[in-house]
Amino acid sequence: MAESSNLRAWLVRLAVLAAGLLVLAGAGLMHALGQLSTGMTVFAQYAGVVGIVWGLNGFFFRRLPLRIWPPTLPIFSAAIFGVLFLLGFFVKEVVGPFAIDSAGRFIGLVHLVDLIFYAFAVMTIAGAAGCAFSQNIIYSAWSLLFAFLGVAGLYIFLGADFPAVAQVLIYVGGILVLILFAIMLTKQIGEDPKLTNAHLALPVGGALAAATVGTLSYMAVMAPWRIVSAPSYQPVTAALGIAFLTEYLLPFEVASVVLLAALVGAVVIARKEIKETSDQPI
């Protein structure tokens, strides 16, 4: 009995909420099209807000004693209506023009392609930094996910479609899953998550990272690279396959043998040893 009446009240609240949203949006639209006078718009939108507040009161803040009399519901709705109106006015008159203006200036300065590159670069470096400096090994593994995905994006930027897909498939789909399995198999989660040199990691690691990246970046910028005039963005998968089966045939076969040996070796190393000295026959 109580279940069904609860359900019915819930449905009524939902219907009133939807109707309030419809009235609110419809009145705004009609006012924008010039079909409705300002006073009527304000009244209709106030009615919509009342409906929305009454409907939401059933879901989220159902403790509030919102009633018609004493008039808590109209007053509360009026307060929310005023706040929404002020917010809308602020967004429309102040933030909107400012945002559009500054976005126009910004896009004039920076190309969209550059923005995408910087997004991928920041994602990569932030993921790597999270992997390096996070205290919890699980968080490290998840930051590694972002580093791998960012590197895949950089590959696409460099016109290397096949390595990008291989990166996502092998690193994200294979190696990262393997790492997560190893973490879960080797430690009880929550027992001692801080297996890192806590007193050493941040200062020494930060200094080491700054020194290395400074030196390598100086060399990368200053060296006189022989840049080609027009880098191409053609698909490379066919060329890669031809290269693997003609020029790099021997390394290709050696790599497959290495993979086979590595996987067999991993199975041999990771399995449990069978005790041959057990004296009780089973």
Based on the shown chain and the rule CB under 8 A, indicate whether residue 248 belongs to the binding site for another protein. yes
Residue 269 makes CB contacts below 8 A (sequence gap 6+) with: none
In this complex, which beta carbon is closest to another protein, that of residue 49 or of residue 152?
152
Query: Nearest approach, Cβ of 214 to another protein (angstroms)?
Result: 9
Query: Nearest approach, Cβ of 101 to another protein (angstroms)?
Result: 24
Centroid of chain to Cα 37? 44
Based on the shown chain and the rule CB under 8 A, indicate whether residue 269 belongs to the binding site for another protein. yes
Contact 42, 84 (CB under 8 A): no
Name residues contacting another protein, limited to 164-193 (CB under 8 A).
166-167, 170-171, 174-175, 178-179, 181-183, 185-187
Query: Nearest approach, Cβ of 142 to another protein (angstroms)?
Result: 11
Q: Cis (ω within 30 of 0) for the bond into 71?
A: no
The size of the interface with another protein (CB under 8 A), counted in residues, is 85
Q: Two tokens at 188? A: 């009880």
In this complex, which beta carbon is closest to another protein, that of residue 101 or of residue 114?
114
Query: Nearest approach, Cβ of 257 to another protein (angstroms)?
Result: 11
Based on the shown chain and the rule CB under 8 A, indicate whether residue 113 belongs to the binding site for another protein. yes
Stretch in the footprint of another protein (CB under 8 A) among 68-76, 77-85, 98-106, 204-212: 204-212
Q: How far apart are CA 282 and CA 278, in angstroms?
A: 9
In this complex, which beta carbon is closest to another protein, that of residue 22 or of residue 216?
216
Query: Nearest approach, Cβ of 199 to another protein (angstroms)?
Result: 10
Per residue, what are the HEC states of 109-136?
HCCHHHHHHHHHHHHHHHHHHHHHHCCC
Name residues contacting another protein, limited to 19-78 (CB under 8 A).
none
Binding mask 128-167 for another protein (x = CB under 8 A): xx-xxx---x--xx--x--xx--x--xx-xxxx-xx--xx
Instruction: Region of 108 please: left (phi>0), alpha (psi -120 to 50) or beta.
Output: alpha
* 3-state SS class at 93: helix
In this complex, which beta carbon is closest to another protein, that of residue 77 or of residue 140?
140
In this complex, which beta carbon is closest to another protein, that of residue 29 or of residue 260?
260
Own/partner contacts of 23-31, CB < 8 Å, gap of 24 or more, are 23/47, 23/48, 23/51, 24/48, 24/49, 24/52
Per CB under 8 A, the list member of 234, 277, 278, 280 interacting with another protein is 234
In this complex, which beta carbon is closest to another protein, that of residue 97 or of residue 235?
235
Q: How far apart are CA 95 and CA 240, in angstroms?
A: 51
Q: How far apart are CA 139 and CA 16, in angstroms?
A: 44
Based on the shown chain and the rule CB under 8 A, indicate whether residue 208 belongs to the binding site for another protein. yes
